[in-house]
Each structure stands twice: as structure tokens, then as C-alpha cells.
Amino acid sequence: MSDVCLIGTGMHPWGKWGRPFTEYGTAAARAALADAGADASEVDFVSGAATVRGGYPGFVAGAAFARALGWRGQQVASSYAACASGAQAIAAARARLLAGLSDMALVVGAESAPKGFFAPLGGDRPDDPDWLRFRLLGAANPLYFALAARRRMELHGARPEDFAAVKAKNAAHGAANPMARYRKRTTAGEVLASPVVADPLHLLDVCATSDGGAALVLVREEDARRRGADPVRLAGLSAAVPEYPVAEPEMPYLAGDPPRAEDGDTGGRAPRFREANARAAFEEAGVGPEDLDLAEVYDLSTAMELDWYEEIGLCPRGGAEGLLRDGATRVGGRIPVNPSGGLASFGEAVPAQGIAQVCEVAAQLRGRAEPERRVEGARVGIAVNQGLFGHGSAAVLTR
């Protein structure tokens, strides 16, 4: 099977700009087309990552971006999966290209975020777990992150200082990234001195919400070669739901699933969806965690970054703290994680974030990241994230 390649990436800087999401998305799309050396008229598929916070145009983001860029009768799609929206939009584009249904796909995601905690839509919706968790329990996102962080402390000996060290590492990376919203170094001490949001997590442990936009231009590998582009191979991609039962009460659920009676307390547990997606993407790509030169992981909280180390196979369960403390995941270390600065430096722009992760991995594989945060000679990278409702995605890129 032929592979699909990225030949152009583009971003609108993250921030709180207060403009419609379409402006960020079209700016990113124009940048991606320019980077690809492609004309907009070559695009025959526009794959939008939708946003639920931009009114109706956000729901039909693919069409909204296509219109803003100039309607040309392109095939169009709009995908939504919360934070995994970007990955699903990329997956839609990859499938069309591999199927030969389209020859050049433009993937775009953008968000214009409200301030503060993410909150559900209005109305009374007692069938909606996302509504119930707020109304019944006040369980905003950071509380879910904090439950997992506390659990990690108990099981693996993580300390608040480790969480803070994740932030310090990522902030140092992000300080050199012109696309990041927060471009200053942060010390672990500053994290620990920031107010506690949800014990054990401090304000600086939890990612903010941002405006931003990101876009990719994708073609089949032979077309990338023919064009003389500077391509990055999208070698593996997975956007899967978990396997039942899922023990953890994943956001936004009120409860997890108990184990099957015949499995007993510990038996028959499928890998968590994050591990499963990473495994599936590695398998498609024909590489493994040992081949990775860098990883972009979804650090909704600093503690969650440590979970990811294990879930993508950088170390065994319980090994993340050691990896972090050894400096292995810093730029310059054995396996840099979030050289972009991660969500710690960006703040989350939901449908754009998964695409931005892929932009970052591509920049590193192309040797184009700023020198201070460059992973020299990188040839294999992964980008992983998670949506609400216990589903997520993983993308493996190779050079």
C-alpha cells in the first residue's frame, strides 16, 4: 500500500485573539499551501476538524473553511471527536487519498475558545453525561486530571515536584516556539507556588484554552516525490474507541465499567485506548517505540504526560518518573517529549491541537524547528491525543 505524505504544514499562532475560528483556520491553510508549494486549486478534498464552540459554521467546519478560502466545488468533510477531532480529520483525508478518491487533501482545524473552564452547552440534558457530570458533581475537567494524578502518585510514587518538572521542561521548549501562546520559561517552583486547582494539581499543571489554527496538505507518496516536495510520511494512524470494560471513569462519565464476572478483579483487561491507539499506529507504520526520536503527547495536565510515556511505550508502567528525572524527555535527551512546548505552552485549541501536534512532528522530521528546541536527526515521531468519552488517536510520522 502506498503511503500518504504531508507536504505542507501551517499554523496560526496560539493565543486569545478573539476572532472567528475561520480566520485562524484559513490563515493556517494558506500557510500550509504555501509551504507545500501548492495552489489552492489543486486541493480536491477539504477535511475540517469541527468545533462545537463556533456556532453552526463550527459544526460544518470543512465547508466553512472551504467557503472562506473560495468555494471550488471540492469534496468536503467535517469531523468531530473533541480533542481527537484533528486526528479524525487527518484520517478522513488519508483514507480518500489512499482510496484514490482525491489527489490533494487540505486538513484544517481551528478554535476560538471562550475563557475559563470548558463547560457544556446550555439546556437541560439529563441523558448527556457531559451535562450530568457538571450538574450532579461539579466535575470539571481538571478534577478528572487530578484523580488520575493522585492515582499515579499512589501507584508509582510520582510527586508534585515531578508534575511541576514536566511543566518546566515543556515551558522551556515552548519558549523557543513562535507558534506557542506562552513563550517564557517556568520553574518547578513557580508551578508549586501557583494556586491548587484540584489537589494535587496546581494552576500551572493544567492546560489553558486558546485560540489557534493548524492545517496540513496531504498527497500520496508518489505525488510528493513527483512534486519535489519536502515530504513527511504519515506512516500510521489510529483513532479508535476502547474495548469494554473500561475501568477508569473517563471524562465525562460518572463511572467506569466493572470487570467481567469471569475475569475477576484483575483479569481480562484490554489495554487502555491510549495504549491501543499507539500500538495500532506503530503497527501500521512498521516501527515501534524503540524507533522513536520524539513524541508529542497530550499534556492536558502535567501528570498526564507521565502516563503517556508508558502508554506509548517509552518505558514500562511506573517508569515515567525515572525517565523524566533523568532528563530523557527534554530536548537533548534520549527521547524528547513535547519539543513544541506541548499544551503547557500552547493551551488547548481543541480541533486544531491534534493537527498542530502533527505539524510539530513534521517540523522536527524536516529539521525546521528552532535550534533551541530542535531534535537533531529525527526520523520517527508520534503524536497522540485523547478526546472526551474515552476515545483518542495516535499518528506515527516517518522521514
Partner 1 sequence: METAPWIARGADGPHLLGSRCTACGAVSFPPDRAHCRDPHCPGGDPVVAALPRRGRIWSFTDCRYPPPPPYVPPTDPFEPFVLVAVELDGPGPIVLGQAPPGTALSSLRIGAPAELVEGTAAGPEGRRFPVWQWRPLPDGGGDAQTAGGVR
Q: Which phi and psi angles does 15 have, rounded to 5°?
A: 175, -160
Q: Which does 37 bind (CB under 5 to 8 A by kind): its own copies, partner 1, none?
A: none
Closest CA to 340 of 11, 4, 8: 11
Q: Which does 32 bind (CB under 5 to 8 A by kind): its own copies, partner 1, none?
A: none
d(CA 89, CA 91): 5
If one asks whether residue 189 binds partner 1 (CB under 8 A), the answer comes out as no
R_g over Cα of the chain: 20
When asked if residue 244 is in the footprint of partner 1 (CB under 8 A), the reply is yes
Which one, 34 or 121, has the nearer CB to its own copies?
Answer: 121
Question: What CA–CA distance (Å, rounded) separates 342 from 384?
Answer: 11
Residue 286 sits in the site that holds its own copies (CB under 8 A): no
Angle between helices 302-311 and 160-174 (to 10 degrees): 90
- To the nearest 10°, report the CA torsion of 357, 363, 366, 367: -130
| 163: contact with partner 1 by CB under 8 A | no
Q: Which of 7, 82, 188, 281 binds its own copies (CB under 8 A)?
A: 82
Please check whether residue 47 is in contact with residue 62, taking contact to mean a CB–CB distance below 8 angstroms.
yes
Please pick, from the candidates 155, 159, 332, 334, the single residue that binds partner 1 as defined by CB under 8 A: 155
**In this structure, what C-alpha cell is assigned to residue 188?**
518547578
- Smallest distance from its own copies to CB 354, Å: 13
**Segment (H or E) for 223:** helix 221-227
Least Å distance, CB 363 to partner 1, is 25
Question: From CA 377, how far away is CA 301, in angstroms rounded?
Answer: 29
Work out whether 26 is an interface residue with partner 1 (CB under 8 A): yes
- Whether the bond between 316 and the residue before it is cis, its omega within 30 degrees of 0, is no
Closest CA to 358 of 383, 380, 376, 392: 383
- Print the binding letters for residues 216-255 with its own copies: x by CB under 8 A, - otherwise: ----------------------xxxxxxx-x-----x---
213 neighbors 229 (Cβ within 8 angstroms): no
What one-character DSSP code corresponds to residue 260?
P
Q: Binding segment for partner 1 among 3-11, 121-129, 179-187, 372-380 (CB under 8 A)?
A: 121-129
User: Minimum distance between the CB of residue 309 and partner 1, rounded to whole angstroms?
Assistant: 20
Q: Which of 389, 394, 395, 396 binds its own copies (CB under 8 A)?
A: 389
How many CA atoms does the CB half-sphere of 171 hold within 13 Å? Answer: 19
Question: Across the strands, what pairs with 11?
Answer: 214
Q: How many chain residues interact with partner 1 (CB under 8 A)?
A: 64
Report the nearest approach of its own copies to the CB of residue 135 (Å). Answer: 12
| Binder of residue 198, out of its own copies, partner 1, none (CB less than 5 to 8 A by kind) | partner 1
Question: And the C-alpha cell for 23?
Answer: 480566520
Query: Does residue 127 touch its own copies according to CB under 8 A?
Result: yes
Residues contributing to the site for its own copies (CB under 8 A): 1, 20, 46, 50, 52, 54-57, 59-60, 62-64, 66-67, 70-82, 88, 91-92, 94-101, 120-123, 125, 127-131, 238-244, 246, 252, 270, 273, 276, 387-391
Q: Which residues bind partner 1 (CB under 8 A)?
A: 20, 22-23, 26-27, 40-41, 67-72, 116-120, 122, 124, 126, 131-140, 142-143, 146-151, 154-155, 195-201, 243-245, 247-249, 254-261, 265-266
